């Protein structure tokens, strides 16, 4: 298994050589940097160093945290107290509460819209690179591959998804290493 440093260096090279830019044939410049779930904290610790290295390369690094997106939505939702009461009153209802939470996230396009807004904000910044962090916050509600498909054609800057899980074939992954392998990802992974 390759080290995080090797994986990041491969990503850095792709970005520096222009393979992280939008191509005329419609390629979305999305990359999945796949790492074992045991390394979640290590990746968080390395982000400042990685940002600095990319800044040296001339990139402007931007982040969008799934923890912030999901937490912000749930904290301000009108049903928050109902969900908390249901989950605490009957611990066996947690699965039902999670289904409700997932339904609201999907129905309101929370993650998709947050990412689309950030991409629109970065559209005119030619040296921008967007990192999608804290992907574990999507569990058990959503999968990032489905959101990537919804945003197909809208990735105007190189976008790096920090993906805790396992890589399968060229385009398949297992989110957090616990979900079944999903081969519907459109973008390559660095594993």
> Whole-angstrom Cα distance, residue 41 to residue 181?
23
Residue 24: the pLDDT is: 44
CATH label of the domain that carries residue 130: 3.40.50
Task: Encode pLDDT of 92-146 as tens digits.
Answer: 888 888 899 999 999 999 999 999 999 999 999 989 999 999 998 998 888 888 8
Say if 104 falls within a structural domain. no
Residues 6+ apart with CB under 8 A from 162: 33, 35, 43, 131, 132, 133, 134, 135
What mean pLDDT is predicted for residues 34-48? 94
Residue 89: the pLDDT is: 87
Please state the domain count of the chain.
1
Q: State the residue range of the domain holding 40.
A: 4-69+109-190
Residue 145: the pLDDT is: 83
Say if 90 falls within a structural domain. no
Pick 191 or 77 by higher pLDDT. Answer: 77
Say if 89 falls within a structural domain. no
Say if 10 falls within a structural domain. yes
Residue 151: the pLDDT is: 93
Say if 75 falls within a structural domain. no
Share of the chain above pLDDT 90, in %: 54
Asked whether the beta carbons of 174 and 182 are under 8 A apart, the reply is yes
Residue 23: the pLDDT is: 44
Say if 93 falls within a structural domain. no
Pick 185 or 156 by higher pLDDT. Answer: 156
Closest CA to 161 of 43, 56, 48, 9: 43
Say if 59 falls within a structural domain. yes
Residue 62 pLDDT > 90, yes or no? Answer: yes
Residues 6+ apart with CB under 8 A from 51: 61
Q: Which of 43-57, 143-157, 168-182 shows the lowest mean pLDDT across its residues?
A: 168-182
Residue 158 pLDDT > 90, yes or no? Answer: yes
Say if 157 falls within a structural domain. yes
pTM: 0.88
């Amino acid at each position: 298994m390759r080290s995080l440093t090797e994986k990041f260096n491969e990503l850095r090279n792709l970005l520096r050589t222009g393979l992280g830019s939008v191509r005329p044939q419609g390629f979305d410049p999305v990359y999945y940097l796949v790492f074992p779930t045991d390394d979640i904290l290590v990746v968080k610790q390395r982000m400042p160093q990685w940002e600095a290295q990319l800044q040296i390369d001339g990139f402007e690094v931007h982040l969008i945290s799934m923890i912030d997106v999901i937490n912000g939505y749930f904290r301000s939702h009108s049903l928050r107290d109902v969900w908390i009461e249901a989950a605490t009153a009957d611990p066996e209802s947690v699965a039902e509460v999670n289904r409700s939470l997932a339904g609201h996230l999907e129905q309101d396009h929370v993650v998709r819209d947050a990412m689309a807004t950030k991409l629109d904000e970065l559209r005119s910044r030619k040296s921008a690179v967007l990192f999608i962090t804290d992907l574990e916050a999507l569990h058990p509600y959503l999968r990032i591959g489905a959101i990537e498909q919804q945003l197909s054609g809208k990735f105007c800057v190189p976008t790096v998804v920090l993906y805790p899980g396992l890589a399968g074939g060229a385009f398949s992954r297992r989110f957090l290493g616990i979900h079944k392998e999903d081969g519907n990802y459109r973008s390559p992974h660095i594993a």
